[in-house]
Amino acid sequence: MPSCELCGREIEGRGRRTKIDGVPMLVCSQCASQFGESKPPSTSSRSSRSKQNTSWVKSSSSTSPSQKRLKKKKKKPQRKTRRRGVLLDDMMVVKDYAEKIRTSRQKKELSQEQLAQKVGERISTLQSIEAGRLKPTMQTIRGIERELGISLLEPVRSASVAPKSSKSNKRLTLGDVVKVKRKKSQKRENSED
C-alpha cells in the first residue's frame, strides 16, 4: 500500500493527488481534507489545470512570503569607488600630527569643541589626539584634513633591499644550500675533535 507523502500514514483506499505549494503530492484523505480540494490520482494533469489546485496559499492571486522577499531583493547597481593616488594602506600618519593639528586649529581660530563637532568626534578624543596620546583613525584623519586643510598622511617609505652580491651573480640553488649545510656540519665535527 502506498503511504501519504505528507504525513507518512498508509493510504486506505484511493489516495488523492494534490498540489501543495505547487508540488503534486499523493496524500491520504485526511491530509487532502485539511489542505483543500483533491483529485483522484487517475485524472490527467492537463485537465487538472483548469480545476482549482490545493495549496498552502489561500488563493492563486496571493503570493507567499518567500515570493514577496524575492521581489524585494532586486539588485541595486553597485558603484565602484576608485581612489586616486596612493592607497590608504600605503600611507601612515606623520610623526608630528598632534602639533600640526593644534597649530592649524589655532590659526583657523577654532576651539577644540568646534573642531570636534565639525569632525564628528568627541571632545575628549580630539584632546587626546592633540596631546599625542592617541593616534587618530582614518575617518578622523580625513575629517581633520578636510576641516583644517592640512595633510596628516605621508606615503610609507619602503626600505629597498638590495641583494648581496655574491661571487657570481647566480641565483641560489638547492645544491648551494646543501653545500652550506655540509660545510657547517663539517666545521662542527672538526671543532669537536
For 9-31, the pLDDT digits (tens) are: 888 888 888 887 788 888 888 88
One-letter amino acid for residue 42 of the chain: S
Asked whether the beta carbons of 4 and 31 are under 8 A apart, the reply is: yes
Range 162-189 average pLDDT: 60
For 59-93, the pLDDT digits (tens) are: 344 455 555 555 555 565 565 544 444 455 678 88
Domain 88-155: give its CATH architecture: Orthogonal Bundle (1.10)
Segment holding 18, helix H or strand E = strand 16-20
**Cα–Cα nearest to 24, from 2, 40, 8:** 40
> Between 138-148 and 112-119, two packed helices, what is the crossing angle to 10 degrees?
120
Is the pLDDT reported for residue 114 higher than 90? Answer: yes
| Residue 184 confidence (pLDDT) | 58
Q: Residue ranges of the domains in the chain?
A: 1-56, 88-155
* 15 Cβ contact list (under 8 Å, min separation 6): 2, 4, 26, 27, 28, 41
Asked whether the beta carbons of 144 and 152 are under 8 A apart, the reply is: yes
CA 106 to chain centre: 41
Q: For the whole prediction, is pTM greater than 0.75?
A: no
| Residue 12 confidence (pLDDT) | 82
